[in-house]
Amino acid sequence: DAYFRILHVNSYSYIPLNRDEHVASYIDNKIFFLGGETDTQDLTNDFFFLDVSIPFNTSSLPMYDLNSITQIPYNRRASSVVCETMNDTIFVWGGDLCLNCSSPLMFAFNTTAKVWNAANDKGIKPSRRRFSSVVCDKNAKIYILDGTFDQIVGNITTYNYSNELDIFDTLQLTWSRGSNLNAPVPHDVGTATLLPNGMIVYIGGSNAYGQYLGLTQNTTGASPTARGFHTAVLTRQGHIVVYGGWFYNGTGSSRSNRIIMLNVNDSNNYVWVSSFTPPSVLSTTFQPVAYTSSTESNTDNKNNIVIIGIVVGAVSIITISGAIFLFYRRYKDRKDINVIPSDDAFKRSKNFIRSDDVFKR
């Protein structure tokens, strides 16, 4: 894209902030990051990308600011996905957008036209949820699993976990309900990444008991600490790029500005790495890449309980496979959660509304 090439040459690299509750999507060797929450703002419309067409190290990132090219909705706690058949469009689902949550459930950003649009959807519409796991298959159908929602009865608001499976047809713009048989335990704030072989890799998240769900599958390399509220995007070269979120630092939880990467080229050996070198000739399938082990390591293994389980199911052509979860106590406070005591260091402002107009900057 000529515009992004000019931007790449003429702009300074963007320095990422400590961030969580944002979304990320991979298009044309760029990972686009949108919105989220920072140390100074509960709701943002930040828009920037990481260039993965060139070699880089996680200590020096080729990131570029896109705030000047378009007005994106203020958002946090949403989910995003790109479909193979519409690979210039980012779909953003759910989350917190505005005061009256009657705003559309699904937005779309076209990276060619640089325009945001609300999906004029129909069918069996789901309830608005936060932190859902979202993937899109080769038929351009988006599958939305789990997430959380508020239930208000009188003056009491409860925070509920869902394991509903909702399907959005991006070609027909219609909603339908799928089966959640053999679905993972209800959770939120994690990520789901669909691999070309039909496997879904779940990374992190939190369950109803206030525990982070850690690394998925058997991995080698220096494993990062378990986390939630991050994003995870699969590159064309077979790396899952994880950014931001909250992680355990050995004594408590911290918001991260780190990029960590999982090499999934070998289905029998997923490796945590810190360096990335794209092949000279790109293809739509995984290619071998140079890598070294990640330097962010788990410093508190003694407090982790390793649970090995297998979840097998079918969603259209998608197969959900099992994972190894590293569990530990979640310290991060949530809005309207009463069952888990809050740590004062992580209390959050409930007044995150910037405007009723979700596009107002």
What is the per-residue pLDDT for 239?
94
Taking the chain, what is the end-to-end CA distance rounded to the nearest angstrom?
26
Tokens of 151: 């239930």
In a domain, 145, yes or no: yes
Domain count, the chain: 1
Question: In which residue are the tokens 């309900």 written?
Answer: 177
Name the residue range of residue 236's domain: 2-346
Classify residue 356: in a domain, yes or no: no
| Ranges in the chain, pLDDT < 70 | 1-12, 98-102, 182, 184, 210-218, 280-361
Question: Pick from 174, 168, 238, 215: which is nearest to 26 by CA?
Answer: 238
Give the CATH number for residue 245.
Answer: 2.120.10.80
Give a yes or no: residue 361 inside a domain.
no
The amino acid at residue 219 is T
pLDDT in the model for residue 246 = 86
Structure-token match 């919105």, residue found: 35
Q: Is residue 66 part of a domain?
A: yes
8 A C-beta contact, residue 135 and residue 200 = yes
Tokens of 353: 């509304």
Strand pairing category for 174-177 and 122-123: parallel
Q: How many angstroms separate the CA atoms of 8 and 247, rounded?
A: 31
b/e per residue, 95-131, with b = 16+ CB within 10 A? bbbbeeeeebbbbbbebeeeebeebebeeeebebbbb
Whether 352 maps to a domain, the answer reads no
Compute the half-sphere exposure of residue 43: CA atoms within 13 Å on the CB side of its CA.
24
Per-residue pLDDT, 19: 92
pTM over 0.85: no
Judging by beta carbons within 10 Å of its beta carbon (0-12, 13-18, 19+), is residue 353 exposed, middle or buried? Answer: middle
Q: Quick one: pLDDT at residue 98?
A: 57
Residue 105 lies in a domain: yes
Tens of pLDDT, residue by residue over 74-107, are 889 999 999 988 889 999 999 987 544 457 889 8
Q: Is 53 left (phi over 0), alpha (psi -120 to 50) or beta?
A: alpha
Query: Which of 109, 150, 117 minimizes the C-alpha distance to 131?
Result: 150
Please report the pLDDT score of residue 35 as a whole number. Answer: 92
Q: Is residue 14 part of a domain?
A: yes
The answer as to whether 198 is a domain residue is yes
The 3-state DSSP composition of the chain as helix, strand, coil percent (nearest 5) reads 5, 40, 55
